Amino acid sequence: MCGIFGIITKEDQILGPILVDSARKLSYRGYDSVGCATIMKDGRISLKKDIGKVDDVASRLNFKDMVGSRGIVQLRWATFGIPSQANSQPHFDSKKIMVGAHNGNVVNNNELREQFLKEGMIVRSDNDGETCVHAVERYLNKGYNTVDAIRSAYNDLMGDYSFVIGISGDERLYAFKKGSGLVAGITKDATCISSDLPSILPITQRILSIEDGEIVILQSDKIELRSVKDGGIIKRGFETVTESMEAAQKGGFAHFMLKEIHEQPRVARELIHLLDNSQSIHSISDRLLQARHIYLIGCGTSFHACTLGSYYFANLAGKAAIPVLAPQFVAQYGETLNTDDVGIFVSQSGETKDVLNALSLAKSKGMQIFGLVNVIGSSLTKLSELYLPLACGYEISVPATKTYTNQVITFLYIFNNG
């Protein structure tokens, strides 16, 4: 998923190199875009962001020259909105006096965006990170103080996420957590917050763990925790972490595959939240039930998910679905396809050549095309009439773990709702 890091120092200084280095420490999670924001003591905010790799974007946009006493950097893995400069994070509020970024997914993003537009807010992207900013803005506009605005926004934002914001004229950073990773750290010169321990360890080993339903208020010399429920102060001591950087990236597991196996329950939960609020599920289910023939097309592990998907559809929806290896699809079924057929094309990357070849033929025959994919903005998402994101984040281990599980869950969900 996405990664966030924020830091607050006593005085204005060049924060760009710190933010870029922290972004590099988060890059193992996978991402499609990167952005930095800094806030100076006089309230000026600088925001630079774009699609691309950390070092390329940092060089092109001169991140190294960014100055402030507060800074936020974010790496985005697209779920809501294609990879683009506008959808990159961090995001401004309507008046450009607040800036923030998130990690995770806000599943009622589309619904909230419509509300914000009706309320007269300026919405510049499709991204749910911007939705987090406007959710806080909504209550600040009503006269709430910042902590109470965050408490109210927390209840409006559905899903699994963590979030950090800075406001012009307020020399603090605020963060809150709901189902996604968040840790804070402190040194004699600064405090910091991140979705991931590896970005904090080069700065400090004095760590404060954050729980769901907690608001973090960072000043340059202290960190305060408050409860979302009642706004009350939460007392918790710092821990000293002695893990190496490599161990921290692996979450304490011996290797990334083991880590990703243990991440399956979390990403499965996040996926189900997304599907519960998806505007595409019922359209896909209805079209599948009306189809003459249904084909589930994939390669390798994705094909195995298709095979299990065909079992689910037969037993839950009472209708046959044909699993097909993508390289065989053209030869086996190419001459039989027509506009009454539907295909679900499955690919973790969205760039699997055999899957795209099969899709190209299907499209030429007028077949309806749905995608199941982990990388938003990939060729498969662009060529599909509708697609569903797997919402797994980057999978470092070569053998599929999270992506296979979420493919299977998606098939089960579609067909159980069919």
Task: Report the CATH number that the domain containing residue 152 is assigned in CATH.
Answer: 3.60.20.10
Work out the average pLDDT over 92-117: 95
The three-class DSSP label of residue 311 is helix
29: number of Cβ within 10 Å: 19
> Residue 299: pLDDT band by 50, 70, 90 thresholds?
very high
Give me the percent of the chain exceeding a pLDDT of 90. 67
Of 249, 281, 305, the domain-final residue: 249
Distance CA 288, CA 371 (A): 13
Query: Would you say residue 1 has pLDDT above 70?
Result: no
Q: Are 10 and 221 in contact (CB under 8 A)?
A: yes
**Token output for 52:** 């691309």
For residue 399, what pLDDT is reported?
81
Q: Which domain covers residue 329, as residue numbers?
A: 257-416
**pLDDT for the residue numbered 243:** 64
- What are the start-end ranges of the E strands in 77-232? 91-92, 98-106, 159-167, 170-178, 183-186, 190-194, 206-209, 214-218, 223-227
Indicate if the pLDDT at residue 285 is higher than 80.
yes
My answer on whether 149 and 232 are in the same domain is yes
Q: What ranges in 291-374 are assigned the alpha helix state H?
A: 300-312, 326-333, 353-364
Q: Which residue in 270, 242, 49 sits closest to 159, CA to CA? A: 270
Domain boundary among 249, 276, 302: 249
- Of the listed ranges 13-17, 259-263, 333-337, the least confidently predicted one is 259-263
pLDDT band at 393 (very low <50, low <70, confident <90, very high): confident
Q: Answer yes or no: do 212 and 301 share one domain.
A: no
* Residue 244 and residue 262 in one domain: no
Residue 76 sits in the same domain as residue 193: yes
Residue that terminates a domain, selected from 249, 282, 316: 249
- Based on the domain organization, do 194 and 286 belong to the same domain? no
Q: What is the mean pLDDT of residues 68-84?
A: 92
- 245: confidence class by pLDDT, cuts 50, 70, 90: low
Whether the predicted pLDDT of 253 surpasses 80: no
Distance of CA 141 to the CA centre of its chain: 27
DSSP 279-296: SSHHHHHHHHHH-S-EEE
Chain position carrying tokens 């952005």:
35
Same domain, 236 and 261: no
Q: Are residues 52 and 35 in the same domain?
A: yes
The number of folded domains in the chain is 2
The amino acid at residue 7 is: I
Same domain, 362 and 395: yes
Reading the block at residue 354, the tokens are 């055999």
Provide the CATH number for the domain around residue 325.
3.40.50.10490
| Residue 329 structure tokens | 């699809």
pLDDT of res. 278: 85
Position 255 scores a pLDDT of: 78
Greater pLDDT, 304 or 351: 304
CB 225 within 8 A of CB 176: no
User: What is the enclosing helix (H) or strand (E) of 257?
Assistant: helix 256-262
Rounded distance, CA 16 to CA 64, Å?
Answer: 4
Is residue 97 domain-shared with residue 165, that is, in the same domain?
yes
209 and 276 part of one domain: no
